Amino acid sequence: MGRSSLFKNYIGTDFNTQHWLSLDPCGLICVSFSYSLHIFSLFASGFTLISNHLVAQLLYGILYVPFSTLSLWSLYKASTTNPGAVPMGARPLPSNISSENSSIQTERDYNNGGLRRRRGIRRCRKCNDNYKPSRAHHDSVTGRCIVKMDHYCPWVGNAVGIMNHKVSQTRRSRVCLCMLGELFCYLWGWFVATDCYSLQ
């Protein structure tokens, strides 16, 4: 989809936007599904599946609700945090200029049909010849060069880079803790329910 913005550059991934949000339709659908799945499991398990068991509800309130709330917050932060996009007009730091000038880069030479080696500062053709730092990659979904880009995650709806990698990793661990807490509450409620029915 590339760079885009809404509401006069208020949200989006363009160079001049105030708040970061990837407007990729597939990513927005997947993020909406992630939010709805979290919220549905939060309310469905609490109000229907373990509603008759006091101990299971206490464990649910102590274990599952905090981790689920933190997981929702991490999902929000991971999807709305700038992943480390290179701003327009960026320049290398003075200490990095000498190392980047001495680095040899290989390009395709379309005139001669081979490879050509050149020295100099890396530029991204897709970002209007903007400076491209080392270990930066162009993300075709957001349309920006991302420093230390890991991948584009559709479930977060954002690229994972240097600025939101920690948030993305903590989101994964919190989702795992949510699943374990909910499984524990379900098993507790099931064991209590089977013991109650076997006594009658």
Enzyme catalytic residues:
153
Residue reference for tokens 């001049």: 16
Q: Per the structure block, which two tokens stand in for 195?
A: 């013991």
- Match 């701003």 to its residue by tokens: 87
Cα–Cα distance, 149 to 181 (Å, whole number): 32
Q: Which residues contact 62 (CB under 8 A, 6 or more apart)?
A: none
Phi first, then psi, for residue 132 (nearest 5°) are -120, 105
